[in-house]
Structure 1
Amino acid sequence: MRQGRDTGFQAPLWRAVAVYRIAALTYATILVVRNFTDYARPMLGWPVLAVMAGWTVFTTYAYADPARRKPPLLIADLLLTMAVLAASVVVVGRPGLEAGLPTLAVAWHVAPVLAWAVAWGRRGGITAALAMGATDLLVRAHNDQAAYTGSVLMLLAAIAVGYLVRIVEVSQERLQRAVEIEAATRERERLARDIHDSVLQVLALVKRRGAGLDGEAGELARLAGEQEAALRNLVAGHAAHPVDERADLDLMTLLSPYASPAVTLSGPAGAVRLPAPTARGIAAAVAAALDNVDRHCPPGTKAYILVEDEPEEVVVTVRDDGPGIAPDRLAEAEAQGRLGVAQSIRGRIADLGGATTIVTAPGEGAEVEIRLAKWSG
């Protein structure tokens, strides 16, 4: 089997289990030597001790490989240890066990319980502890306080280790999330610098050169100025605040800047919380729809944004009172390489798993309906 390399948090825990197993084996060996003459069949104690030593060596190397930490190994570890524990009835003898002699697997039998707790958390540790504790009580054949105390301590150890594993898992996830956010923030800052050094300077130049001109040149300068201001705000916002792509955003907050005397925004009184990619995608599609109104409709054309927060999905409708779109105009524009609607609206929403419906007719305005499941994105 191919050896794997453990770079996660579990590596130190598995090493701790191996160290415990070795220390417990040493202690068990000392007790076997010390109580050798009191055993019913002392010569059988050495083969059992040899099995314990061999299994300790095997599991030390096996658990070091993440690829081998599978149910077959963990179950075999538990069953073999239970078998060693049960062998105490034959080697030590029932009279010796009832007199208080320790089992052959004293302390060593806790190692697989710890392994289950590391691999499967508290539930796995509790399951192994109950199985091992029941075997230990059956082998001892005397239900005194000392017997129960050992089983309870083993159960508590399994719970503690399982809880520790869960805490470390959460810490690891939070650390990974913080690293991802930092990397995303650095990338956004780099893009912001690039945009500032290229696009913003070009827009500023167009605005400055076209200022005071009449006709289309003046309109172009005005549009360049607006886009420069909007882009500067966008870049400044992204550069100033780390962005967590897993956080929820309020769609109404993202759409509120589009409200103006010419654009009416209607929606729920409360926040419409959506995953960040979904909320930003909808806001960008709405911006593209409003840009089409500004470009292709007469000045003063009214536009309306309606947000409907339904239980399973969010529906955003952008409607205008413009002249509408001629039949086949969208297909013709896409064929000519003008992909504003195809990519900025339909393509963006499709990438998020949603659907876009455009209803229009000459002289009746246009309506863009966006539907997205709340868990999309």
Structure 2
Amino acid sequence: MGLEVALWRAVAVYRFAALGYAAVLIAMNSGGPDGYEHPAGGWAVLAVMTVWTAYATFAFSDPRRRGWPLLAADMTVAMGCLLATAWVESTAHLQQGRPTLPVSWVAASVLAWAVVGAKRAGIAAAAILAVGNFLVHVFADTGVRGGPSTVNGVVLLFLAGMVVGHVVKLARDAEARLARAVELEAATRERERLARGIHDSVLQVLAMVQRRGAELGGEAAELGRMAGEQEAALRNLISVRGAPLPPPRPAAGDPPRPGTTTDLRPLLTAYGSTTVTVSTPATPVPLAEPAAREVAAAVGAALDNVREHCGEQARAWVLLEDDGAGEVIVSVRDDGPGMPPGRLEEAAAAGRLGVVQSIRGRIRDLNGTVVIHSAPGEGTEIEMTVPAPR
């Protein structure tokens, strides 16, 4: 909001400064033998420029009115004042290179278009006014299509539209990055505050349950083991510094939201426990939200297979990598007994489709690939690669 206000104030200041310059030239050229052919027309154009400058400054100050209808009206007034030069000024003076009535005042329209639509809109506005500059000489029947002064004015219009539009785009991008940085800082502060509260309450209770369960043995020991896993998972979750909180899981039947992205790291770190170690990059790994859900589900299916076939105490490692070239790689490795050759094909033939559907099927639907490395006594590693368009 601060950037928009500053830009429109600058355009308003330019309008009034250019109006003052045009008023001085019109006053100087209205009398004497070298004056306008129709002096009254020059004063009428100045009056129109004055009224429109006041109205445009007021109109563009309200964000709700900064649309293309107002920009079109601004361009129409600028073009009308420009074309009026052909009637007010004499043919001889135009042939000598005397400037148009509004002079540089018309460039305010180029600036306004550039502020709203960036470089492309600024160049388009400059092209429209360039046509008007040449039409002045056509209507005045000067026999030329504009002298050096006309060409110089047209070039300056194009430069103003291109440069100002580009600067506006850069400024808006910088403002967006600053807002994002402030948002991340606020999220980090809130995460740290929640982490302190959790550490002083929930984590200590879970640690106590784990310790007392191990001392009591029996069913209490199993409860203690589960409390320990939840403590480790919770510690891992709150230790992802700078990452946004994971999005809420969708309800059953709730379709994914297309067009949105989410950081894959929190979705995977949620699987961390005393037996599962999750390693992720320090920077966010954005994926389309539906793709991120499917990758996380495939990782969960792989970890379920580890617990089912390798036992509750088997260790697993999840590694997330972003190669920076448009692919995200997730590998799940365990220290289990491994699989003999042909084991997956036998399971699929017997109707056990956990790996085929839950892992390979999900990744295939994302146009990704799955590679499984396993050998008896050497554990199993599942490597999933999915495209991540930037």
Q: Say whether the fold is shared (TM-score over 0.5).
A: yes
Question: Which residue of structure 2 lines up, in the alignment, with residue 329 of structure 1?
Answer: none
Q: Give 1:187 shift.
A: 2.2
Q: Give 1:66 shift.
A: 0.9
Separation in 2, partners of 1:101, 1:364:
88
Separation in 2, partners of 1:255, 1:205:
22
Q: 1:200 aligns with which of 196, 203, 207?
A: 203
Q: 1:181 aligns with which of 170, 181, 184?
A: 184
Would you say the 8 A contact 1:25–1:52 is kept in 2?
Answer: yes
Would you say the 8 A contact 1:40–1:92 is kept in 2?
Answer: yes
Q: Give 1:275 shift.
A: 2.2
Would you say the 8 A contact 2:97–2:149 is kept in 1?
Answer: no
Would you say the 8 A contact 1:251–1:274 is kept in 2?
Answer: no
Would you say the 8 A contact 2:236–2:270 is kept in 1?
Answer: no
Question: Which residue of structure 2 lines up, in the alignment, with residue 158 of structure 1?
Answer: 161
Amino acid at match of 1:211: A
Residues 57-91 of structure 1: per-residue CA shift (max 9 Å, x gap): 11010111111111111111112111111111111
Q: 1:18 aligns with which of 6, 12, 20?
A: 12
Amino acid at match of 1:122: K
Q: Give 1:249 shift.
A: 4.9
Separation in 1, partners of 2:63, 2:228:
58
Separation in 2, partners of 1:181, 1:86:
53
Q: Give 1:49 shift.
A: 1.2
3-state DSSP class of the match of 1:275?
A: strand
Q: Give 1:92 shift.
A: 1.5
Instruction: Please state if 1:228 is matched with 2:231.
Output: yes
Given the superposition, is the C-alpha separation of residues 112 and 21 from structure 1 closer, same or farther in structure 2, using an over 3 Å criterion? same
Would you say the 8 A contact 1:129–1:158 is kept in 2?
Answer: yes
RMSD: 4.4
Question: Which residue of structure 2 lines up, in the alignment, with residue 9 of structure 1?
Answer: 3
TM-score when normalising by structure 1: 0.69
Q: Give 1:94 shift.
A: 1.9
Given the superposition, is the C-alpha separation of residues 291 and 197 from structure 1 closer, same or farther in structure 2, using an over 3 Å criterion? farther
Residues 137-176 of structure 1: per-residue CA shift (max 9 Å, x gap): 3324543322211211121111110011110111011112
Given the superposition, is the C-alpha separation of residues 22 and 95 from structure 1 closer, same or farther in structure 2, using an over 3 Å criterion? same
Q: Give 1:34 shift.
A: 0.6
Given the superposition, is the C-alpha separation of residues 303 and 10 from structure 1 closer, same or farther in structure 2, using an over 3 Å criterion? closer
Q: 2:87 aligns with which of 87, 90, 95?
A: 90
Comparing 277-286 with 204-213, which one deviates more in the overlay?
A: 277-286
Question: Which residue of structure 2 lines up, in the alignment, with residue 213 of structure 1?
Answer: 216
Instruction: Please state if 1:76 is matched with 2:73.
Output: yes
Q: How do residues 199-278 of structure 1 correspond to structure 2 at under 5 angstroms? A: 199-235=202-238, 237-238=239-240, 241-243=241-243, 249=264, 275=287
3-state DSSP class of the match of 1:242?
A: coil
Q: Give 1:375 shift.
A: 7.3
Question: Which residue of structure 2 lines up, in the alignment, with residue 54 of structure 1?
Answer: 51
Residues 227-274 of structure 1: per-residue CA shift (max 9 Å, x gap): 323432332x22xx21168676579986997897xx9x9xxxxxxx76
TM-score when normalising by structure 2: 0.67
Instruction: Please state if 1:34 is matched with 2:28.
Output: yes
Separation in 2, partners of 1:107, 1:148:
13
Given the superposition, is the C-alpha separation of residues 247 and 84 from structure 1 closer, same or farther in structure 2, using an over 3 Å criterion? same
Q: Percentage identity across aligned positions?
A: 47
Structure 2: which 5+ residue stretches go unaligned? 246-260, 279-284, 321-325, 338-346, 367-386
Residues 169-218 of structure 1: per-residue CA shift (max 9 Å, x gap): 11011112112211221222122122212221111111222233331112
Separation in 2, partners of 1:208, 1:169:
55
Separation in 2, partners of 1:364, 1:300:
23
Separation in 1, partners of 2:268, 2:175:
32
Comparing 212-221 with 125-134, which one deviates more in the overlay?
A: 212-221
Structure 1: which 5+ residue stretches go unaligned? 1-6, 266-272, 322-358
Would you say the 8 A contact 2:78–2:109 is kept in 1?
Answer: yes
3-state DSSP class of the match of 2:100?
A: coil
Would you say the 8 A contact 2:8–2:60 is kept in 1?
Answer: yes
Tell me the number of residue pairs that the alignment of Structure 1 and Structure 2 aligns: 317
